[in-house]
Amino acid sequence: MEVASIPQRSERGALAGEKAARIVEAMRASVATRGIAGSTFDHVAREAGVSRGLLHYYFQTKERLLLEVVRQECQARGELLDQAVAGARDADGLIDGLVTAFREALDGGSFQTFYELLMLGQRNREIADELHQLARATRERLAEALRAGAETGVFELRADPADFSGFLFALGDGMAIRHLCEPELSLEPLLAQAIGAARALVA
């Protein structure tokens, strides 16, 4: 009989604990390959190597587990964007870093997980509210990083940092949706156009 300890949250709000981390990662991988409907507690418990009862004890419902997946995905995406901006030495370096962060998020399946949950949020107000807060926080986080880079003279923005951040997310979301709709379609021509559009707003 597996004895569960209540998972603790760090200052960032992420669940602490090795078993909880395994459960969240198993759900993330499952949604990316099977979708939400196919990601049952039984399957996730097997993949995580824990009992179904422990999974229920930690998260109570599938929706709560899915929300934790998205919280951690948004945290990881925010960290990638922070690194992209912090590592830039000029405008070209900023664009290169942002493109790398986009590719990593796309390859990691975070867009698919978020969009799957976004659809579920159309029928679940708690999820919809949480997604709204997470999306806004991630966008604002990038805006603050861009503002800091501009203020230190690393690059010059030709748009308000908040507007530029929203524009970048709109470009990324659009390409990600197109990739999910048409996986055989090469994103490189679209990405080249997106880079040109973003490059016009930073010097």
- Scanning the structure block, which residue is given the tokens 């503002």? 147
Q: What gap in Å lies between CA 90 and CA 93, rounded to an integer? A: 5
Q: What is the mean pLDDT of residues 113-117?
A: 81
CB environment 1-17: b (16+ within 10 A), e (fewer): eeebeebeeeeeebbee
- Note the pLDDT of residue 90: 95
For residue 9, which phi and psi values (nearest 5 degrees)? -105, 140
pLDDT digits 0-9 by tens, 5-32: 434 443 333 445 888 889 999 998 888 7
Contact call for residues 71 and 13 (beta carbons, < 8 A): yes
Domain count, the chain: 2
- Which of these three, 36, 60, 84, is where a domain ends? 60
Give the CA radius of gyration of the chain.
18
Q: What gap in Å lies between CA 39 and CA 29, rounded to an integer? A: 9
pLDDT band, residue 141 (cuts 50/70/90): very high
For residue 202, which phi and psi values (nearest 5 degrees)? -140, 140
pLDDT digits 0-9 by tens, 25-44: 999 888 878 888 888 999 99
| Pair (117, 158) in one structural domain | yes
pLDDT over 50 (residue 53): yes
| Pair (17, 90) in one structural domain | no
| Pair (160, 144) in one structural domain | yes
pLDDT over 90 (residue 115): no
CA dihedral 133, 135, 140, 141 (to 10 degrees): 100
Q: What is the mean pLDDT of residues 75-85?
A: 88
Range(s) of the domain holding residue 31 = 1-60
pLDDT digits 0-9 by tens, 165-199: 999 999 999 999 999 899 999 999 999 999 999 99
Q: What is the mean pLDDT of residues 148-161?
A: 95
| Pair (104, 182) in one structural domain | yes
Helix (H, G, I), strand (E, B) or coil at 9: strand
| Pair (41, 127) in one structural domain | no
pTM of the entire predicted model? 0.81
| Pair (31, 86) in one structural domain | no
* Sequence-separated (6 or more) residues with CB below 8 Å from residue 192: none
- Note the pLDDT of residue 7: 44
